[in-house]
Structures are given as structure tokens and as C-alpha cells.
Structure 1
């Protein structure tokens, strides 16, 4: 491949680290409420857990696994203030990375994703039981015994770059089935996670082929938009109704949405991890785009070309600014029985 002089102007600008037309501006349209009433928890710091008299599953909703993703914390604050309680089983509402969340600054909103390392890349046995130390590892080790009691986990996330909402289910078929039964968002993606480490939804009890516990990760929309909070509320409420954890007409919860087509299921065929500091897409792709033709050039990683491996290639959460070792994009295809006609 030749040098940058032959690249399209937008790509050359990205490779040079210059501002590029089409990249979204970061605007914070949400205000983080006073979370001090919830920091102590009643089970662990930042963990509120409520049991009903009637038996049922333990359902946990996790927010702020990344400290700058405040939409989920806003939702949990509302539910706690409104006194949401289960009618069956146990309901737990969890603020994940308390230290990073406490440092969130709307003037620098991307700075507090974590303190030392990503809390959502630590969930393998070697890391959890090893000798390494960090702020996030302390939190993961504190949360681990609690997560060992959870039957269904919904981990709430939001996105920096433009993308349609979706549910990530890892590689456990039972998680994909549950996500589809919730009915929204309209896209469910089964994937193998990240090269940089295992996510909470990939924690062994949730993916054990012989087990019944399960976990899903909701990517609800842009980080700091009211619509993202609303999406989280609708999806989480549907899960609680489906599990029988809450009454179907509980006034705290958003009403169920109008019936719609079942979510489509896509399976990741390649996870693209950036290897150079010069990783750049040819244009600012949006998550949820489908590239029709196989072998279409999407990005350059230094001199390596990143191309679509098959026709009708779904782009899952392309990251328009990617550092080496980070996931740049996941490439997926819809299951044969999920293709629209």
C-alpha cells in the first residue's frame, strides 16, 4: 500500500489525528443526581437488594460499570427513590464503578470511564484470583460473591459513537433467547467479547453450558441523552415483568411498549481489534449499518486493510477513535432465519 498521500482526505485526517467532518460532537444532555443516599447500599456499598416473600429468581440490574455512563445511574436513582420492590424472588439494583462514577465531570465526560482499568474486562478466574491490584479489581472482587447469587443480570451501558440500541448476549444461547423474549431493542448480537479481557456477562457462572444463570448487556444509545435513559427503563422493566419479579402494572415502571416484530439475532463473525495507533475507518460508520458486499474496505490498521468478510455485513458499534488493543468494530451477520425479506 502507498503512503497517506493517496488516501481519501477524511481518512488521511483521521490518520494524522486531525478533526474530521462527520465525527459527532460530545454533548452532555443529562444531569447526574445526588447519589449519596445510595452509596452505602444495604448489601454492599452501592448495592441495594430487596427480597419478596414469594419465591422467584434473583434479578440484578447493574448501572455505571463504566463511570462516565451515567444514564443507568439516573434510572436506578429514580427506581430507588420511587420505592420499587419485587413481588417474587429478589431484585438488586447495583451501582458498578462507584469511584469512577463519583468523579464524573460533564466538562470532561470521557475521562472517568474507569480509574485504573476497565471494570468490564476483568471477569476471568485468573484475573479475579490473581495478585494484580487496581481500583477496579478491588470492586470486581467485592462484587463477585454477590454476582454468584444472581440468576439474571442486566448490565446497562451506553455508547460514545452513534449506533442503534442493541443487546449483547455473549456466546450463551440461553442469553440470546432471553434477550429476544424481552422483545426490545430490535437487535440482539451474540458475540465472543473482547481480546482485552472478559466482560461481566462472560463471567463463568453466566456462561456455564450446564448452568441456568444468564447475563445480558444492553447498549441503550448515546451516553448522555434522555432517550438512552428511557430505553434502559423500558427494557429493564420488560425483563422484570418477564421474570415475574414485579407486578405487571407496577406504577413505578414505564408501561410496556406496543407490540413489535421480534428482535433480529446476529452473530459476530469477526471482532476487529486495533493493532496500531493509526487505525482509522474510511468514513464515520454508524453502528447498525449493513454493508451489502463482501470484501468492502472499511478501515486501515496501519497498512492492514480491514474488509467485510461476507455479504450483508452488520457493523456492531464501530469505535471511531481506537487505541491499540481495543475493539474497533465487530462484524456480524444475521442468522439465516433472521434475514428480512
Structure 2
């Protein structure tokens, strides 16, 4: 009799005991989930992790601006060698587009084949310079640069982000320069080595603003800068459809100033390369040795550098030792 009473009460209580155990287990799991989520959010809220997440999301959302390098070129003995040097540099630059413009009535087979194998995204154009503009002392590559600007205005829109710079085929560029110019909002500038009869030319910067020019030739130019020393945001090019390199009334060495006057002001220039204290671009133009290609061969025997300007002496000596006749 006692056993039956005990079992009857036990089976009456058992369901309630099981319900209590289940409820306690559910609460424990919910608490664990809340604690885990709180811990994760706390770690995520720390500044470095938050910044890293934002950076990753931004990088995924929008790629960096595309760099458009405009290179005029013409037929000569060293043309392919010059283009090869540029291609070897440009191939290492992400988000890059090379606009090569031949001074020719048609695309030449040499340049067409070269670009097809260069492994650099490119556009191949041709614009012939009229014979009357090929006289000594007249500005060069005017029609080719303007042809590239016209192509950009015809094929790019206000939704495209990019930076345009003029990469003549006799120049050498350090890779650091491309990431410097990629953030250009309007017109950016930087020093150029071995140009204008000096070891370097550069904008003079005070308190983050360009106030003048250190140059060896016509310092009174509005923009006393080499073609290799500036870049322009693509939207500035598109917003100024009449901005071109002038042929009528233009003088040698004034192409840069004549163009930049149409799109910017001195006080609006963006100094790069640590406030224009580093050299990242170098045009070389020496004969390598007697009996070789001769004067006008553009040597790439010394590499461009991003070292501070004050330490350029050793580089210049290296270049001079390579360029000196045997």
C-alpha cells in the first residue's frame, strides 16, 4: 500500500521536475549566447578592430582610383627599349591603364605587337603631328597628349574615378610615386630629379601649401614644373573640356604652365612626396659610351629613388659615371 502511494506521487511530480530542469537549461544557454555576443561586440568596438573592419568594407565597396598614364611615343632606334622599361614598371602597379599615343598616321606594327605582349591594360591611339610643327625649337607631343585627353573625355563619365598623369617614354618612375598620386583630389605635384640643368626641381612648400618653385630654368613661369611632376584627377579633366595643351603661341618649356593655368591655381596644388622633399621621378638623357647609340639615348642604369633630396649626391655620381664617355 505504501509503495503504491509513493509511486503515484512520484509520477505526479516527475513531469514538473522535468519541466523545471528544461527551463533552467534554456535560461543557461540564453545567458551563454548573450555573454558570447557581448564579448564579441566588446572586442569589435575597440578602435583598431573597428577601423580595420571599416577599411575592409570600404575596400570591398569601392576600388581605388584607376591611374591613367598618357605616353606619347614616336619611331626611333630606342623606342622599344624605352617602352619596355616603362612596361616593366607599370606592370607592377595595380588599377592602372596605359594610354599610348603614337605620332603616326596609323598604329605601327612594332608598338601594336609590343602592347599586346606587355601585360599592361592599355589603349593604343595614334595622332600625326603636322609637318609644320616638327621644326626644331617647337613644343613636342602636343597633339598626342591632346588626343589622349579627348579619348578620356569621350570614354569616361562623372561616375568614373581616376587620376591622369603624363608619362613620357624617356622617364623612369619609382613605384612609390603611383600610390602617392592615387589620392589626388585636384592637381598634385612632386619633385623631379635630373631635370632643368639641376640635380632636381621641386615645388617649394610652406605649411602644406605650394608657394614657389626651385628650378634651374625660368623660375617666373606660373607653374615651373616638368611634365613628369604632376597628376590630375580625372574629374578635373572632364569638368574642363576645353583644357588642352596649346599649339598656337606656345613656347618650348611652357606646355606645363599653359595647361595647368586652365585647370588650377598655385594655392590649390596638392604637394606629395612628404611635402615635396623626396624624388620619385627621373628623366635620364645621356649617351652611354662613345660609339654606342649616342647622345639622346635615355639610360635606365641608375634606378629612381624615393630617398630624401639631401641624399641625392651619391645617385648623381652613379648616373654621371655611367653616362660619361669611355
What TM-score, normalized by structure 2, do the two folds share?
0.26
- Give the structure with the higher percent strand: 1
The structure with the largest alpha-carbon Rg is 2
What TM-score, normalized by structure 1, do the two folds share?
0.25
- Give the structure with the higher percent helix: 2
